[in-house]
Amino acid sequence: MPSDPKIRASDADRDRTAALLREHLAAGRLTAEEFHERLDLVYEARTLGQLDELMADLPGIDLYELPDAKLRRGRTGNVPLPWQRPGE
């Protein structure tokens, strides 16, 4: 269910939007100038609709999805942990 754009944004909503903008900057979708302009507007935003407008022309990304399988949590294979001796 989509959120009501008139609902007041929380600090967590603004922080999440700022983190998404940082990811888009790192991916090259925003220039440094665009990023700083939008970041200023993020912290001035009062509603979820204002935050959504700042992200409208950017693709959705999941901050919890790691980009590379080798970076995923957990162990794969038979690689010893740093404090283990091989064969343990």
| Domain spans in the chain, listed from the N-terminal domain onward | 11-59
Q: Distances from the Cα of 9 to the Cαs of 3, 24, 55, 66, in angstroms?
A: 11, 21, 14, 27
Residues 16-30: tens digit of each pLDDT: 999 999 999 999 999
pLDDT-derived band at 3, boundaries 50, 70, 90 = confident
Residues 41-55: tens digit of each pLDDT: 999 999 999 999 999
**Verdict on whether the full-model pTM lies above 0.85:** no
Q: What tokens does 44 get?
A: 């001035």
What are phi and psi for residue 8, nearest 5 degrees?
Answer: -65, 140
